[in-house]
């Protein structure tokens, strides 16, 4: 249980530091350290990440480091996509979902390691908001299918398309992740019920409390650790984890 709790702490720290990465860690921790079935782990991941993200976003909102228009443009389509993705998940086996998850993890690593071009915000970006709507929908479906919050896709979109600073993008991402993950968790309760599976509410509560503490630690550390180096280091870690999950499910 020690390693599981340490994992929960790292989940919160990751969300507080980067505004992403929480669900990328949550699913493997629940499966490999706790022994939860794949579909249950995905459902619990959404519930845990939703709570941690919401609480972690509050300090950003207080500091006015949240772009509420982007929350609407990205969040509402994302919630719809997440609900649909969760509904589709009942037609996939847990192993298939986990392999898709591993591929997504490697994609996340690539996006974190590579250097993206940041564009300055100007009035022309209002015409490109529809791109955020479409991406919100796509990322939402992915969230529902495999339980990833999608911060690694949301933040680049907010910075490059929305022209937000990194810190504002992180705060905005946390609110979007909370909204999408909540919707996905709600739908997964029906999915699990149809397969005679249940959420471990005690485990979910413990992970949430530890993760929330971690998110505040991560939020404080984010002011001291260079984001660029942190993202690359986390990206390399995700590469290792992604190929490990693929290997364990293919062999």
pLDDT at 227: 66
Q: In whole angstroms, what is the distance from residue 154 CA to residue 145 CA? A: 17
pLDDT at 119: 47
pLDDT at 21: 61
pLDDT at 128: 63
* Longest pairwise C-alpha distance within the chain: 52
pLDDT tens digit string along 64-110? 999 998 999 899 999 999 999 999 998 988 889 889 888 888 887 88
Half-sphere exposure of residue 177: CA atoms within 13 angstroms, side-chain side: 39
Joined together, the tokens standing for residue 248 give: 């364990």
Q: In whole angstroms, what is the distance from residue 44 CA to residue 23 CA? A: 10
Q: In whole angstroms, what is the distance from residue 97 CA to residue 102 CA? A: 9
pLDDT at 61: 93
pLDDT at 229 over 60: yes
pLDDT tens digit string along 24-68? 788 888 988 899 998 999 999 999 989 988 988 888 899 999 999
Collect all residues with Cβ–Cβ distance below 8 Å to 46 and sequence separation of at least 6. Answer: 23, 143, 147, 181, 182, 184, 185, 188
Cα angle 142-9-7, degrees, rounded to a multiple of 5: 65
Report field, pTM of the whole predicted structure over 0.85: no
pLDDT at 209: 92
166 sits in which H/E element: helix 166-194
Q: In whole angstroms, what is the distance from residue 105 CA to residue 28 CA? A: 11
Contact between 239 and 109 (Cβ < 8 Å): yes
Q: Which residue has the tokens 């939860």?
A: 36
Of these ranges, 17-26, 111-120, 228-237, the one predicted with the greatest mean pLDDT is 228-237
CA 205 to the chain's CA centroid: 18
When the pLDDT of each residue in the chain is averaged and rounded to a whole number, the result is 83
pLDDT at 217: 84
Contact between 242 and 102 (Cβ < 8 Å): yes
The band of 122, judged by pLDDT with boundaries at 50, 70 and 90, is very low
Express as a percent the part of the chain with pLDDT over 70.
Answer: 89
Q: Does residue 17 or residue 180 have the better pLDDT?
A: 180
pLDDT at 79: 94
Q: Does residue 199 or residue 49 have the better pLDDT?
A: 199
Of these ranges, 10-19, 137-146, 236-245, the one predicted with the greatest mean pLDDT is 137-146
CA 169 to the chain's CA centroid: 14
- Choice among 63-67, 76-80, 194-198, 234-238 with the minimum mean pLDDT: 234-238
pLDDT tens digit string along 145-172? 888 777 777 877 787 777 788 788 888 9
């Amino acid at each position: 249980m020690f390693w599981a709790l340490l994992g929960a702490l790292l989940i919160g720290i990751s969300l507080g530091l980067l505004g992403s990465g929480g669900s990328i860690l949550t699913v493997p921790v629940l499966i490999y350290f706790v022994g939860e079935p794949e579909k249950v782990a995905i459902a619990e991941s959404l519930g845990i990440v939703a709570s941690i993200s919401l609480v972690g976003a509050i300090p950003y909102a207080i500091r006015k480091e949240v772009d509420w228009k982007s929350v609407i443009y990205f969040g509402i389509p994302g919630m719809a996509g997440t609900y649909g993705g969760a509904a589709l998940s009942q037609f996939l086996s847990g192993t298939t979902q986990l392999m898709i998850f591993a591929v997504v993890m490697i994609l996340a690593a690539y996006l974190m390691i590579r250097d993206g071009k940041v564009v300055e915000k100007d009035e022309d970006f209002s015409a490109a908001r529809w791109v955020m709507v479409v991406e919100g929908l796509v990322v939402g479906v992915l969230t529902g299918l495999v339980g990833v919050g999608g911060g690694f896709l949301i933040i680049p979109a907010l910075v490059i398309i929305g022209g937000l600073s990194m810190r504002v993008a992180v705060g905005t991402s946390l609110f979007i992740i909370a909204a999408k993950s909540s919707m996905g968790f709600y739908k997964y309760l029906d999915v699990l019920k149809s397969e005679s599976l249940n959420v471990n509410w005690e485990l979910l509560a413990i992970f949430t409390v530890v993760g929330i503490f971690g998110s505040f630690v991560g939020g404080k550390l984010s002011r001291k650790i260079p984001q660029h180096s942190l993202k690359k280091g986390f990206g390399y870690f995700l590469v290792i984890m992604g190929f490990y999950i693929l290997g364990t499910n293919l062999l």
